[in-house]
Amino acid sequence: MPQQKDFKRVVRARMQKTGESYTAARAQLLRKPKTKTTRLARALNAPSVADYAKLAGMSDAVVKAKTGCNWERWVKALDKLGADRLSHREVATLVNQKFEVGPWWGQMLTVGY
C-alpha cells in the first residue's frame, strides 16, 4: 500500500477537485501519459508539512499526544528508514519494533503514512 501512497494522494486530490469517484479519478490519471519527472519537479509537487495531518486524516495534536511525535517527524523518520519502499505489513512491523508505539498506534501511523 505505501508503495503507491503518492499516487493515491493525487487520486484523492482529483476526486476533491472534480467530484469523481475514486475509480473514475484513478482511471483518468492512469490514461495520462507518464512523463519523466525531475527531482525538482517531485520536490515541488510533494505535500507540504501542513498537509500531513489532513492527508492522514488525524490531527498533529492527537498523534503527538499518543505517540510523542507529530506527523512531520513521523514522515521524516519513516522516509529515512525507507518505508516508502516497504509493504503495509512491513511498515507496521517496523513502527512497532523500532518505535514501540503499540500495535494500534503502529497501524494508525502506517495507514496515515
pTM of the shown model: 0.54
**9-60 pLDDT, tens per residue?**
888 888 888 888 999 888 888 885 655 555 555 555 555 655 777 777 777 7
Q: What average pLDDT score do residues 87-107 get?
A: 85
- If we measure between CA atoms, which residue out of 55, 58, 72 comes closest to residue 105? 58
Domain coordinates of the chain in residue numbers?
Answer: 1-46, 49-113
* Exposure class string for 60-79: b at 16+ Cβ within 10 A, else e: beebeeebebbbeebbebbe
